[in-house]
Amino acid sequence: MPNLKPLFFRDAAQLLTLAGPPAPRRGAALRELGIIRDGAVLTEDGKILRVGKTSSLEAQARRLRAQAIDCRGRVVMPGFVDSHTHLIFAGNRVEDFERRIQGKTYEQIAAAGGGIQYSAKLLRRATERELLSQAETFLDEFAAHGTTTVEIKSGYGLDVAGEVKILKTIRALQRRSAIELVPTLLAAHAVPARFAARRAEYLKLITERLIPAVARAKLAHFLDCFCDRGAFTLEECAAVLAAGRRFGLVPRIHAEQLTHTGSCRLAIETNAASADHLDHITAAEIAALAKSNVVAALVPGSNFHLDTPAYPPARRLIDAGAAVALATDFNPGSSPTLNMQFILALACVKLRLTPAEAIAAATLNAAYSVRRADRLGSLEPGKQADLAVMDVWDYREIPYYFGWNHCIMTIKRGRIIYCRK
Ligand code: NIG
Ligand code: FE
């Protein structure tokens, strides 16, 4: 790999550094973006060398013969870390979408053979090449919207071969894509129809065959499960996560999404990296989560797309001191968006986060939730040079002008991976 040319992002109207310890931001600290006006960032060898006022970095940039990038009238910020996606899927679920518009619910559609089972059917028919090609197209779009790190869950395989096929696709993508990928085995997503009367057998397949196979091949770092009505019970999820723990897989949980199950408590007990969704979390659980290191990952894109009557109690979570992150939950069933800027808009309008809180939740706290806050999520010397340049004067315009893409340049490990033409 040739030496990377140093880059000098200069004259930014606002540079959002999010400088601070590599720990999640809680309470009032979530609003602190560490803004430098007329800010600059100097990168070298894929890392951030310095940040500060443009005038104070100019001499060093000249000495390094850094390539200058004019950021006048623009906001420079850390690239988004999308900590919850299911981006490896085949085809789509527009049929489900239309049925929901006509009045059927997500759960009714799933029970009638749509939903995750339908995606699993399409995945079984797809070749690895097809999966790879669709995923690469998506990753290009992530980059174009300012996202530089993406967690990806398996989950549409519903058997050992299918899950391994997804995780191997992620591994192949890691070699081809500039975006940093974080693989998660979503082992318990739905009980396949053929196991409907033999759940215990399917659980055994997960704990005794799938988890060991994935862990031995080092195909995933995290282990997720969908704890809900129509998916897996609390006891089943506890058994799955315990099996994963024996192989060093770190838990994350789809918790309290459609109904209340007690899965938020399970996340705390198992010291999970995150508890995601949390629509039906109780007051006592909010207090318990706030005392823990489990990140509350909110995914309002799924509330929007499923048009749920309520959104998760984000304000109460933040005010109680929980570590809140935001993610797209990009998937074909409940949240077909990969645009973190739209998630910021939803977070502001529907979850009542301020724009500053939403940005910190989508960068530093999300980085913490994938256990990479030592390298990602803020613009500070020594951290990885992962940046997004937004064509706005004020960061609040990002969620305010919702539904369009403000990103004009994305940088990963000091390399320009997207530049608007
Ligand atoms: O995060 N809740 C489970 N998993 C996804 C939806 C998956 C699907 O419908 O395909 C979610 O909402
Ligand atoms: Fe999900």
Residue pair 368/377 in contact (Cβ under 8 Å)? The answer is yes
Return all residues near 126 (Cβ < 8 A) that are at least 6 apart: 90, 91
> Distance between CA 193 and CA 56 in Å, rounded?
63
Residues 206-213: contacts with CB under 8 Å, at least 24 apart: 206/240, 206/243, 207/239, 207/240, 207/243, 208/243, 209/160, 210/160, 210/163, 210/185, 211/185, 211/187, 211/240, 211/243, 211/244, 211/247, 211/249, 212/247, 213/160, 213/164
Ligand 1 atom closest to the CA of 302, numbered from 1: 12
Ligand found nearest the CA of 302: 1
Q: Which residue, chain included where needed, has tokens 């009238």?
A: 73
- The alpha-helical segments, DSSP class H, found in 87-198 are 94-101, 106-111, 115-125, 128-144, 160-176
Question: Any bridge partners for residue 411, and if so which?
Answer: 387, 416
Ligand 2 center to residue 222 CA distance, Å? 14
The yes-or-no verdict on residue 2 having pLDDT over 80 is no
Parallel/antiparallel/unpaired status of strands 7-16 and 35-44: antiparallel
Return all residues near 89 (Cβ < 8 A) that are at least 6 apart: 119, 122, 123, 134, 156, 331, 332
Ligand 1 atom closest to the CA of 258, numbered from 1: 2
Which helix or strand (DSSP H or E) is residue 416 part of? strand 415-419
> Distance between CA 227 and CA 235 in Å, rounded?
9
What pLDDT does 341 receive? 99
> Distance between CA 287 and CA 266 in Å, rounded?
14
Ligand 1 atom closest to the CA of 119, numbered from 1: 10
Residues 190-197: contacts with CB under 8 Å, at least 24 apart: 190/110, 190/115, 190/116, 190/117, 190/120, 190/158, 190/226, 190/230, 190/231, 191/231, 191/232, 192/117, 192/120, 192/158, 192/159, 193/113, 193/117
| Average pLDDT of span 124-138 | 96
Return all residues near 16 (Cβ < 8 A) that are at least 6 apart: 33, 34, 35, 75, 76, 77, 78, 359, 379, 395
Ligand 2 center to residue 333 CA distance, Å? 9
Ligand 1 atom closest to the CA of 96, numbered from 1: 9
Ligand 2 center to residue 57 CA distance, Å? 42
Percent of the chain residues past pLDDT 90, beyond the cut: 98
What pLDDT does 3 receive? 66
In degrees and rounded to multiples of 5, residue 360 shows phi and psi of -65, -35
Ligand found nearest the CA of 274: 2
Q: Which of 253, 334, 343 most suits a substitution to test ligand 1, by most atoms within 8 Å of the C-beta? A: 334
* Average pLDDT along the chain: 97
Ligand 2 center to residue 106 CA distance, Å? 14
> Distance between CA 316 and CA 311 in Å, rounded?
12
The yes-or-no verdict on residue 99 having pLDDT over 70 is yes
pLDDT digits (tens, 9 = 90+) for 202-225: 999 999 999 999 999 999 999 999
Nearest CA to ligand 1 atom 10: 333
Ligand 2 center to residue 69 CA distance, Å? 37
Which helix or strand (DSSP H or E) is residue 245 part of? helix 234-245
Ligand 1 center to residue 77 CA distance, Å? 29
pLDDT digits (tens, 9 = 90+) for 288-344: 999 999 999 999 999 999 999 999 999 999 999 999 999 999 999 999 999 999 999
Nearest CA to ligand 1 atom 8: 333
Neighbours of 102 (CB within 10 A): 7
Q: Which of 88, 94, 105, 116 most suits a substitution to test ligand 1, by most atoms within 8 Å of the C-beta? A: 116
Nearest CA to ligand 1 atom 11: 334
Q: Helix or strand or coil: residue 13?
A: strand
In degrees and rounded to multiples of 5, residue 239 shows phi and psi of -65, -40
Ligand 1 atom closest to the CA of 110, numbered from 1: 9
pLDDT digits (tens, 9 = 90+) for 337-353: 999 999 999 999 999 99
Ligand 2 center to residue 86 CA distance, Å? 6
DSSP state letters, 320-341: HT--EEE---BBTTTB----HH
Ligand 2 center to residue 258 CA distance, Å? 12
Ligand 2 center to residue 22 CA distance, Å? 25
> Distance between CA 165 and CA 313 in Å, rounded?
36
pLDDT digits (tens, 9 = 90+) for 149-187: 999 999 999 999 999 999 999 999 999 999 999 999 999
Name residues contacting ligand 1 (CB within 6 A): 86, 115-116, 119, 226, 254, 257, 302, 329, 331-334
Ligand found nearest the CA of 83: 2
Q: What angle do CA 308, 252, 347 make, to 5 degrees?
A: 40
pLDDT digits (tens, 9 = 90+) for 359-403: 999 999 999 999 999 999 999 999 999 999 999 999 999 999 999
